[in-house]
Every structure is written in structure tokens, then in C-alpha cells.
Amino acid sequence: MTRYFVTLALAIAAALLTPQVKAEKVVVYREGQLVNPQDVAAVLGKTRSIHLLDDTPAVPAKSTTMAAGSLAKTAASSPASARIARDDSNADASALSLPVRFAFGSADILPAARTQLDALAAGIKLLAPESTVTVEGHTDAVGSDAYNLELSRVRARAVRDYLVQHHGIDAARLKIVAYGKARPIEASDPNTALNRRVQFRGS
């Protein structure tokens, strides 16, 4: 019995002393929401000590989401927004997520996505000239790991190319990374459209 209490005490002590991984905050824009370039620059202007290799998949990390309502005005409300945790404090947000629409199963960016990407580009242009931005490709859980990883890679690449070709942003400032379905933003519903996104962070 004494051994049980000693083991329990050690387990509790270990749990209390183990550093907790702080959940990352992501500002999530919905389709149709206006993206403010100043807000984009505020989030992407924060740098982190993480180095990602271009075109290299990375390991999953915990993340939490917040609605972009406190950073941008909503053009149209959606019932699905109830699934996103709202937080008025975006000061510690480290990334932002756009629901970039592509043609089914391809990397062709649909016209509906361009307004938000154009505002994002304006925000990137407000950053210091030497700053870089990581463009992350994410998918939902439909399909195999390999298929989704490759799809997320070509879609992230398509977004980078759009920013370079249509807005003159130096390609060297835009790094891409593919996560496939490994980092759902809405883990309770892996197939939801919320998980089909392109995420951006300062790097």
C-alpha cells in the first residue's frame, strides 16, 4: 500500500513539474471575411525560433483557434463559426488561416479566394524587407496520408506562386511546408472544410 502512495505521489509530482506545451493561437478567417493588411502584418511580424525547410513535412503540434472577428470585420456570418473559440486577445496569435478555395482535387486557386490573398499580400508588403513568411498547406482527412501530403504541398506552392506572380513578392521570402491532414484545426470533425486551409506565419 505504501508503494502505491509513493508511486502516486511521484506521478503527480512529475505531472506538475513537466513543462506544459503552450497551445498555439491561430486567427481563423472564414470565406467572405475581410482581411485587414495591418492585422496580417501584426501577426506575421512576430518571429519564432522555428526553422522549417522548404517542401519538408513537419511533425504535428497542438494548436487552438480564434475567430478573426476581432481582427477583421465579417462580411457574412456563418453558423459554423460556433465551432471556433472566440478570443478578443489576438496579441499572442502566431499564425493566421485562410480558407483558400481550390478546384476539386487540384491546386488551381478559384477566383473566390483572390480577395483575401490580395489583402494578405498587402500585409506581407508591410513587413520588414528581410522578413520571411511560411506558407503552410493543410487538408481535411479524406484520402490517404500520401495523397493529402502531396496535395497540401502543391496547394501551398500555388499560393506562393500567386503572391509572387500577382504581387511581386520575392519568392525567397516565402517558404512552403506541407502538413497534409496531420494538423486539423477542427480535430473533432477531421473532414470539415475548416481543415482545408492555407496557414501563414512569420518565420
The reply to whether 11 falls in a domain is no
Q: pLDDT digit string (tens) for 90-106?
A: 567 889 999 999 988 88
In angstroms, the CA 71 to CA 85 distance is: 14
HSE at residue 81, side-chain half, CA atoms within 13 A, is 18
More confident residue, 203 or 115: 115
pLDDT of residue 113 exceeding 60: yes
Residue 118 counted as domain residue: yes
Query: Which domain range does residue 83 map to?
Result: 24-202
Output phi, psi for 42, to 5 deg. Answer: -65, -40
Q: What is the rounded average pLDDT of the residues 61-73?
A: 49
> Does the residue 52 lie in any domain?
yes
Predicted local distance difference test score (pLDDT) of residue 19: 42
Q: Which residues of 158-173 are buried (b: 16+ CB within 10 A; e: fewer)?
A: bbbebbbeeeebeeeb
Count of other CB atoms within 10 angstroms of residue 14: 9
**Of the candidate ranges 36-40, 71-75, 98-102, the one whose mean pLDDT is the lowest:** 71-75
Is a pLDDT exceeding 60 seen at residue 67?
Answer: no
CATH number of the domain encompassing residue 159: 3.30.1330.60
Asked whether residue 120 carries a pLDDT value surpassing 80, the answer given is yes
Q: What is the mean pLDDT of residues 97-121?
A: 92
Q: How far apart are CA 124 and CA 197, in angstroms?
A: 18
**In a domain? residue 18:** no
Worst-scoring range by mean pLDDT, 34-43, 56-65, 109-118, 149-158? 56-65
| pLDDT mean over 183-198 | 92
Residue 112 DSSP label = G
Give domain status of residue 3, yes or no.
no
Distance from C-alpha of 136 to C-alpha of 201, rounded to nearest angstrom? 8
Question: Of how many residues is the chain composed?
Answer: 203
Q: What percent of the chain has pLDDT over 90?
A: 55
Beta pairing partners, 95: 26
107 in a structural domain = yes
Classify residue 195: in a domain, yes or no: yes
Domains: count for the chain: 1
55 — pLDDT class (breaks 50, 70, 90):
very low
Q: 48 lies in a domain? A: yes
